[in-house]
């Protein structure tokens, strides 16, 4: 059995990757502009932190390693501003969000790198459908054993990350009725899901990957599209379930949440094996209903996810104060409890604007750090494909009942 070296990292350090949308500012559709944008940034100091993704309508920002999320936030703001400036120079816009609200996967172009071309050949149309946008959070650990320990302890909290970050309610012109539709694309891949429950240390992980290789099911860890996976060459555990938030502020708040949660969980015992019994159901509930989904605890208690999250924030705050991130995590808590997630904000924008291209425009403005523009009195004179959401959002269904008024949030973070 081949051993996999694990490069030790300083515990509790973190970094993030953000996959971002490249938008045509006239049609508000995705545009295949990653090559031009990368060329524009070639001589910029952050050029090595801006990467292509599987299709040419995507770009990825990679942070450096940070001990404190406030340092991460400062860097991400600088990178955002540099990326926006370069995008303006080549005539495109940039947006967060887990999925473009009305793009057609058939129109996507695969990036010209050997791995992406291999994926397109291997997975067919799934590769183009993989034009979805996620935030990956890396947390440093000392050893391979610690990475497996942290991965197992984080697994019952996958729904919390999904619900807090969800920002993909619209897909191909319709309201999917999901808070997070992005993970439906990820779950199409054969090695998606979670690490087998029987893997409890690094040796067992090596043995599992060796068996996958022996059977021809995987060549490397890159082929494991798990919700959380070890990243031995970085010395990290990588959380992969988050949609890309609409702002860098929310992205860094979620990273701070992950850091504090990791510190808390490494002081506790492993969850019971029963935690895996409800894994897929909890995952689905968080994708479908977001913070209002049902959640089954490892002990079998069933409650609303938002109630479990509220109690979790109470447990986290002392750790956050130790780490100096109390303000960031309190801001995430307060905004989630008051206004919900980005998926709810996007639905509120559609209710206000009644036009998905204008929702994309609001997403681009949010990424720049600008407030959503007021709805125009007359249709804007731009060339765009008119798209309507064919399914009414869930909030509107409740509001249609006599005497029921459902407030929709106008505030974004």
Max mean pLDDT among 9-23, 113-127, 263-277 falls in 9-23
- What are the residues whose beta carbons fall under 8 Å from the beta carbon of 85, sequence distance 6 or more? none
What integer pLDDT is reported at residue 374 of this predicted model?
A: 36
What integer pLDDT is reported at residue 300 of this predicted model?
A: 92
The b/e string for 200-220 (b: 16+ C-beta within 10 A; e otherwise) is ebbeebbebbeebeeeeebee
**What pTM was estimated for this model as a whole?**
0.89
What integer pLDDT is reported at residue 236 of this predicted model?
A: 98
Here the tokens at position 398 are 């409740």
Instruction: Among 112-116, 215-219, 354-358, name the one with the lowest average pLDDT.
Output: 112-116
pLDDT-derived band of residue 390, with 50, 70 and 90 as boundaries? Answer: very low
How big is the CA angle at 99 (ends 175 and 192), to the nearest 5 degrees? 105
- In degrees rounded to 5, what are phi and psi of residue 58? -125, 155
- In degrees rounded to 5, what are phi and psi of residue 174? -125, 155
Using an 8 Å Cβ cutoff, are 139 and 65 in contact? no
What integer pLDDT is reported at residue 395 of this predicted model?
A: 37
Percentage of the residues of the chain whose pLDDT score is greater than 90? 76
In terms of C-beta distances under 8 Å and separation of at least 24 residues, what long-range contacts does 365-368 make, across chains too?
366/95, 366/96, 366/246, 366/247, 366/412, 367/20, 367/80, 367/84, 367/94, 367/95, 367/96, 367/246, 367/247, 367/248, 368/80, 368/84
pLDDT in tens, 158-216: 999 999 999 999 999 999 999 999 999 999 888 999 999 999 999 999 999 999 999 99
Using an 8 Å Cβ cutoff, are 265 and 179 in contact? no
pLDDT in tens, 254-300: 999 999 999 999 999 888 888 899 999 999 999 999 999 999 999 99
Q: Look up residue 313 and give its DSSP letter.
A: H
- Closest to 166 measured CA to CA, from 277, 51, 292: 292
CA distance 400 to 403: 8
How big is the CA angle at 361 (ends 359 and 362), to the nearest 5 degrees? 65
Here the tokens at position 310 are 């509220």
CA distance 216 to 141: 30
pLDDT in tens, 297-325: 999 999 999 999 999 999 999 999 999 99
331-354 average pLDDT score: 96
CA atoms within 13 A on the CB side of 276: 12
Please name the residue that has the structure tokens 């893997």.
199
Within 225-278, residue ranges assigned H as helices are 248-265
pLDDT-derived band of residue 372, with 50, 70 and 90 as boundaries? Answer: very low
pLDDT in tens, 144-157: 999 999 999 999 99
What integer pLDDT is reported at residue 175 of this predicted model?
A: 97
In terms of C-beta distances under 8 Å and separation of at least 24 residues, what long-range contacts does 201-208 make, across chains too?
201/144, 201/145, 201/148, 201/149, 202/4, 202/6, 202/143, 202/144, 202/145, 202/147, 202/148, 204/148, 205/4, 205/144, 205/148, 205/230, 206/1, 206/2, 206/3, 206/4, 207/1
CA distance 301 to 288: 20
Distances from the Cα of 12 to the Cα of 61, 355, 379, 381, angstroms: 21, 43, 49, 50
pLDDT higher than 60, residue 405: no
The b/e string for 20-50 (b: 16+ C-beta within 10 A; e otherwise) is bbbbbeeebbbbbbbebbbebbeeeebeebb
The chain-wide mean pLDDT, for the chain, equals 89
No. of H helices and E strands in the chain?
A: 15, 13
Q: Could you say which architecture CATH assigns to the domain 14-374+383-397?
A: 2-Layer Sandwich (3.30)
CA distance 402 to 264: 46
Domain range summary for the chain, segments of one domain joined by +: 14-374+383-397
Rg, C-alpha atoms of the chain: 21
Pairing label, strands 93-95, 134-140: unpaired
pLDDT higher than 80, residue 85: yes
pLDDT-derived band of residue 75, with 50, 70 and 90 as boundaries? Answer: very high
CA distance 108 to 275: 39
What integer pLDDT is reported at residue 379 of this predicted model?
A: 37
Residue-by-residue DSSP string for 9-26: --TT-EEEEEEEEEE-TT
Where is pLDDT greater, at 131 or 123?
A: 131
């Amino acid at each position: 059995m081949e051993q996999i070296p694990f490069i030790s990292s300083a515990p509790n350090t973190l970094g993030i990757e953000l996959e971002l949308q490249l938008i045509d500012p006239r049609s508000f559709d995705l545009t295949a502009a990653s090559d031009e944008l990368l060329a524009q940034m070639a001589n910029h100091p952050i050029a090595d932190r801006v990467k292509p993704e599987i299709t040419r309508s995507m770009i990825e920002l990679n942070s450096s390693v940070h001990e404190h999320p406030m340092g991460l936030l400062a860097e991400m703001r600088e990178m955002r501003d540099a990326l926006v400036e370069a995008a303006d120079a080549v005539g495109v816009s940039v947006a967060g969000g887990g999925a473009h609200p009305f793009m057609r996967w058939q129109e996507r172009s695969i990036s010209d790198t050997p791995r992406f071309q291999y994926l397109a050949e291997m997975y067919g149309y799934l590769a183009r459908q993989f034009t979805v946008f996620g935030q990956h959070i890396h947390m440093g650990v000392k050893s391979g054993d610690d990475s497996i320990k942290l991965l197992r302890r984080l697994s019952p909290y996958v729904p919390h990350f999904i619900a807090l970050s969800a920002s993909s309610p619209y897909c191909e012109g319709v309201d999917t009725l999901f808070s997070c539709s992005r993970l439906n694309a990820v779950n199409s891949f054969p090695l998606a899901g979670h690490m087998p429950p029987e893997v409890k240390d690094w040796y067992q992980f090596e043995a599992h990957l060796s068996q996958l290789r022996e059977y021809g099911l995987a060549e490397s860890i890159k082929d494991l599209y798990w919700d959380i996976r070890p990243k031995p060459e970085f010395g990290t555990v990588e959380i992969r379930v988050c949609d890309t938030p609409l702002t860098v502020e929310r992205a860094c708040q979620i990273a701070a949440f992950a850091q504090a949660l990791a510190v808390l969980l490494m002081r506790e015992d492993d969850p019971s094996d029963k935690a895996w019994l409800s894994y897929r159901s909890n995952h689905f509930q968080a994708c479908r209903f977001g913070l209002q989904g049902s959640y089954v605890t490892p002990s079998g208690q069933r409650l609303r996810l938002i109630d479990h999250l509220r109690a979790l924030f109470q447990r986290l705050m002392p750790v956050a104060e130790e780490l100096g991130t109390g303000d960031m995590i309190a801001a995430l808590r307060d905004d989630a409890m008051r206004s919900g997630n980005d998926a709810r904000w996007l639905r509120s924008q559609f209710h206000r604007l009644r036009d998905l291209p204008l929702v994309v425009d609001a997403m681009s403005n949010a990424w720049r750090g600008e407030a959503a523009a007021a709805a125009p009195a007359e249709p804007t004179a731009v060339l765009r494909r008119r798209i309507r959401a064919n399914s009414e959002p869930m909030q509107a269904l409740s509001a249609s009942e006599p005497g029921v008024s459902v407030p929709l949030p106008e505030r974004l973070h």
